Amino acid sequence: MAILGRHNSTVTAVQHDLLRALWLKNCSRATESWHSLGNAIRQAQELGLHLQSEVRQPADGNLGEMLGRLWYDEYKRRLWVNLFIWDSHMALVLGRPRTINANDCTIKTPTDCDIPEDPSTTVPTSIGTANVPSSYTPRLFYYEISHKIHKMRAVAADRPYINDYNVVKVLHEQVMSLLDGLPPVFRPENPDISWDSRCPKFPKQRQQISIAASSFLMALHRPHVAIHKFSRDAGITAALNTLESQQRLFEMVSRHHYKFFYLSFYTIDAAMFLAATMIKHTPTDQVLLQDIYHSLRQAINRLLVIKERSPIAKSGVQVIAQCCQKMSSEFSKNINDSINLNFTAHGVNEVPEEATIHGSENSLDCSLSDIASLHSTIQIDRSTHSDTYSNEIDFNASFWMKHMTEDIDPELGSPIGSWDSLLLPNLENCG
């Protein structure tokens, strides 16, 4: 225990607990992950990583050693930034309190540059436009979004019936300004792709930036959808952008990435948001409806591909199928029967990889009224495969049901209409 720094905090111990939190979250064990993150943060605070320290010049005036100290200070600031981002993100995802008070932190924002192989020969400076773009830019963007999460919580913008709705619009505009202020190489829309061949991680980072911004906007507007049309429209746009970026990112990654949290959670969260919004506030724009249907179909296809590697996806696809059945019954009352929802109802247990990963239109389509077929097939698949993590995972059917409940009626905290009778009996044993 002493080696891990449990009695005397060390930077290594902070790194250990942060990596453990990452592993647990990817295993869908969110509560344990949150606890591990809390341990990392408390140890970092004990070390003073949240406070800006003075970098002293060596007594012998050695330049190489001085540069090494500057880069080590840079590294510690980046470690704290990671903790700050994680704390804000976990608070948003789990609805838990933040461990960090932003007002307690005095560190300077890290330098927007990559750490060199030999720190003793390079001065920490931001990369100019003529040089290779910095791969650390996205991390600084996430840091800015994390500060917006703190602001949102501080002014209670994440609660329904806010006194001054204008603060929601201000936060929305601030996030859009952050996107507009990104270097062209990292802009999700119309990016500069000239560096992509030399920096293969840049295309993925662009999609991750889009997901970070869109998921924040979705969380910001979610409590206000029932009352404010601006939030309803902005939330739907953010959810569609999230699903589009998730699809692009999914097409870029390898199979061993399928178990990662970010490939499942944001897909399920956005799909649930769209389902809840459409059930209570069905759009009249036919083009928008088709976009939503297309995104939901892709979402289910992705989850079906990765569900055997991801406990989150395995539980999420069950609930989304139930949501679609509810959507089918609701929409039959007020939309034209000729509008089709192209969900793939064929091959739930054996999804053709070429038809799912690349979003092929050659898969078997079914109309909105046939969505019950997908629902019943997934039920059979669930009942014939035991879930090793059924008693351990936190992002299970109950977690997603709670989110759906809050989306449909955030004030009452209970589903509307026949939502209880439709979903709860079928999901009581779902892992």
pLDDT above 70: percentage of residues in the chain: 74
Min mean pLDDT across 40-54, 101-115, 139-153, 370-384 is at 370-384
Predicted confidence (pLDDT) at residue 370 exceeds the cutoff of 90: no
* Amino acid at residue number 15: Q
| Cβ count near 193 (within 10 Å) | 12
Predicted confidence (pLDDT) at residue 243 exceeds the cutoff of 90: yes
How open is the CA angle 175-219-267, to the nearest 5 degrees?
105
* Eight-class DSSP state of 365: E
Min mean pLDDT across 102-116, 254-268, 285-299, 351-365 is at 351-365
The pLDDT value recorded for residue 405 is 62
Q: Is the alpha carbon torsion for 409, 414, 416, 420 positive or negative?
A: positive
Residues 277, 279: Cα–Cα separation, whole Å: 6
231 alpha-carbon distance from chain centroid:
19
Q: Report phi then psi at 105, rounded to 5.
A: -95, 135
6 or 41, greater pLDDT: 41
Average pLDDT in the chain: 80
Predicted confidence (pLDDT) at residue 354 exceeds the cutoff of 60: no
Residues 162, 152: Cα–Cα separation, whole Å: 11
Using one digit for the tens of pLDDT, what is the confidence trace for 178-224? 999 999 999 999 999 999 999 999 999 999 999 999 999 999 999 99
Predicted confidence (pLDDT) at residue 278 exceeds the cutoff of 50: yes
Predicted confidence (pLDDT) at residue 371 exceeds the cutoff of 60: no
Tell me the average pLDDT across 342-348. Answer: 44
**pLDDT-based confidence at residue 424 (cuts at 50, 70, 90):** very low
The pLDDT value recorded for residue 177 is 97
The pLDDT value recorded for residue 327 is 73
Residues 150, 87: Cα–Cα separation, whole Å: 10
Predicted confidence (pLDDT) at residue 289 exceeds the cutoff of 50: yes
238 or 120, greater pLDDT: 238
Most confident of 86-95, 153-162, 168-177, 401-410: 168-177
The pLDDT value recorded for residue 386 is 39
The pLDDT value recorded for residue 428 is 39
Residues 89, 91: Cα–Cα separation, whole Å: 5
Predicted confidence (pLDDT) at residue 103 exceeds the cutoff of 50: yes
Judged on CB neighbours under 10 Å (0-12, 13-18, 19+), 185 is buried
User: Of all helices (H) and strands (E), which one includes residue 366?
Assistant: strand 365-366
pTM: 0.82
Predicted confidence (pLDDT) at residue 277 exceeds the cutoff of 60: yes
CB 104 within 8 A of CB 49: no
400 or 192, greater pLDDT: 192
HSE of 198, CA atoms in CB hemisphere, 13 A: 10
58 or 191, greater pLDDT: 191
HSE of 126, CA atoms in CB hemisphere, 13 A: 9
What 305-310 contacts at long range (C-beta under 8 Å, 24+ apart), as own/partner pairs, is 305/258, 305/351, 305/353, 305/356, 305/357, 306/258, 306/259, 306/263, 306/264, 309/255, 309/258, 309/259, 310/28, 310/258, 310/259, 310/260, 310/263, 310/264
The pLDDT value recorded for residue 118 is 86
Here the tokens at position 241 are 């952008």
The pLDDT value recorded for residue 4 is 54
Residues 212, 146: Cα–Cα separation, whole Å: 10
The pLDDT value recorded for residue 421 is 38
279 or 329, greater pLDDT: 279
User: Of all helices (H) and strands (E), which one includes residue 344?
Assistant: strand 343-344
Tell me the average pLDDT across 221-230. Answer: 92
Most confident of 153-162, 317-326, 328-337: 153-162
- Residues 6 or more apart whose CB falls under 8 angstroms from that of 388 comprise none
The pLDDT value recorded for residue 329 is 67
Most confident of 174-183, 287-296, 320-329: 174-183
Predicted confidence (pLDDT) at residue 323 exceeds the cutoff of 50: yes
CB 99 within 8 A of CB 37: yes
Closest by CA position to 261, among listed 18, 28, 34 = 28
